[in-house]
Chains A and B, each alone.
Chain A
């Protein structure tokens, strides 16, 4: 009897854990997430730092096969079954280099990618994996980013039009990533891409959690003492982040972005809420909700299961080795000169 009870309790715990891993709601859906957060504590107790906070430390990778948006054919299907996931994984791993598989974001295993690390960057296909049962990282029945509001389309179109024909005039017209100011891999919210250097090291001290991206050594030192944001007139490429703990979850709120830090076409009204919850020794559930009433009609959320990985995190000095900007601009000047000579 007691053994049966124990067994069914264990089974229940397992179900709860799986449900949590796969369905933990994204930030913003507060009532639901509050209940689930309590369940996390029961299912798996994360280690704590000496000052009693959940210990999120380690080196994490966000590599996953799960595509950002849901493939069209799947409709409102939010989760794969175990069997479907196993079959998909098998197809991906058995595929040829560069072969597209519907429902899988091959990331670095895509044909254009040039990489130098087998595990991280997908050349070793046996290591490619889905890190959750989600059919897309964007959560909810749609599984896609809501359509952009007309005013946002107009804003972005105007910017693109102003740039047209002037792309090579000066460094100011080059993309922020090329200038080593805001590389795509370090943009927040953090989403996996076909990228190298997608490691994140977390180091915690009393009252602070620091997040260090390998890419361009981009670091956020986030206070968790409940303080307010810096004044609104201080605008930063990565905004201003403040945090607090909700049970075992670190919640980070970011505003004060510049009007050039556009995330998927957003404006400087972007408001980001990120939630970090360790779900197992080697798994971190990273959830985020973005809100920008000048860009989308409603907030939207995504969830990515990160995997613990080994370091070290290398130094990524982007600007120091940037020969790209000068090469591109010099090329453009040489072309102009040649065209001028030809015209005379």
Chain B
């Protein structure tokens, strides 16, 4: 009786441990999904993708909040989200933490997104707009709907940036199923989100795009910037394929939506 009980307890515990381990492993990295191949035998990442989260509002976990335009009521209020930062902590150096707070307090006036500026990396990935991967042997082009932003990822021998730019300089390579992109030479003028999270021109981003099913990718970005952060930190999120028939990026030339904000005060006063 007792031995039967202890046997079944042991069995149950073992089963639980196995389940737990399997669960943990499964969570850490989706095992063994093998993506369809392109003509040259690489994992096929071609398609139109989009993040489905609130990372552009705030990379970190956040509750719902009143939006920046109370006159619009619940429209454009801040949606809640669990966050995409590993450990939910962004390791700011003390001075940088103060600047982040200032940014957040003056968000609408300072956020480059409000001005329709190029979003930089990784923000381009999780803006609430789709983007398209066009994968060839020599290059991978990523076209983003927001602001018509675009990147060319060089898949050949790594090259050096001719200078700093908004979207940075991308060298890519394959690690098994994963497209790994090393991004350098990013300007200090972009932000990570609407919560004022920012970086300097020392930013170095390593992105990993891993197929996890036919219509989802895992996107991870390791962020390193010794002028702003005390250690590298990481975000991760799934990306979803836009599976609608004939899905297509449309024009979102947001310049025309930012002009009133940028130049409205210089409008001619009506003369009467």
Contacts and interface: CB of A to CB of B under 8 A. Distances in A.
Given A238-B251, A315-B166, A317-B166, A204 B266 contact: no
Contact of A203 (B136, B165, B258): B136
28 contacts: A49-B136, A51-B38, A57-B136, A171-B267, A172-B259, A181-B253, A201-B152, A205-B133, A210-B134, A212-B152, A217-B148, A217-B149, A219-B150, A227-B246, A234-B250, A238-B251, A313-B152, A314-B165, A317-B117, A317-B165, A319-B116, A320-B117, A320-B166, A325-B259, A326-B263, A329-B263, A333-B266, A333-B268
B39 A206 contact: yes
A46 interface: no
A30 B85 CA distance: 56
Contacts of B136: 49, 57, 203-205
Interface string B151-183: 010000001001101110000000000000000
A168 interface: yes
Given A234-B250, A236-B250, A317-B165, A207 B46 contact: yes
Interface in B163-211: 163, 165-167, 189
B249 interface: yes
Contacts of B132: 208, 221
> Max chain B CB contacts within 10 Å: which of A50, A223, A325?
A50
B53 interface: no
B38 A50 contact: yes
Contacts of B152: 201, 203, 212, 313
Contact of A206 (B38, B139, B150, B258): B38
A68 to B, nearest CB: 27
Interface of B is mostly: loop
Interface of A: 49-52, 57, 168-172, 179-181, 201, 203-208, 210, 212, 216-219, 221, 223, 227-228, 230, 234, 236-238, 312-315, 317, 319-320, 325-326, 329-330, 332-333, 336
Given A170-B268, A230-B248, 17 more contacts: A49-B136, A50-B39, A50-B40, A50-B137, A51-B38, A57-B139, A170-B263, A171-B263, A179-B255, A206-B46, A206-B135, A208-B132, A210-B141, A221-B132, A228-B246, A236-B250, A326-B262
Contact of A169 (B116, B139, B256, B268): B268
A236 B248 contact: no
A201 B138 CA distance: 12
B150 A217 contact: yes
B44 interface: yes
B50 to A, nearest CB: 15
A312 B255 contact: no
A192 B68 CA distance: 45
Contacts of B117: 317, 319-320
B118 interface: yes
Interface string B241-272: 00000101111010110110011001110000
Nearest to B270: A169
A206 B251 contact: no
Given A207-B46, A212-B150, A325-B263, A237 B253 contact: yes
A180 B139 contact: no
Interface in B217-239: none
A315 B165 contact: yes
Nearest to B262: A326
A319 B143 contact: no
B162 A312 contact: yes
Shortest Cβ-Cβ A-B pairs, 7 listed = A50-B39, A329-B266, A315-B165, A205-B134, A203-B141, A236-B251, A169-B268
Nearest to B190: A320
Interface in B75-103: none
Contacts of A330: 266
Contact of B256 (A181, A203, A207, A218): A181
A200 to B, nearest CB: 12
Given A179-B255, A179-B259, A329-B263, A204 B134 contact: yes
Contacts of B39: 49-52, 206
A170 B267 contact: yes
A237 B256 CA distance: 11
Contacts of B163: 314
Contacts of A168: 268
B254 to A, nearest CB: 9
Nearest to B138: A57
Contacts of B150: 212, 217, 219
A205 B46 contact: yes
A2 B141 CA distance: 49
Given A51-B39, A320-B118, A315 B255 contact: no
A206 B263 contact: no
B46 A180 contact: no
A170 B267 CA distance: 5
A203 B263 contact: no
Contacts of B258: 319
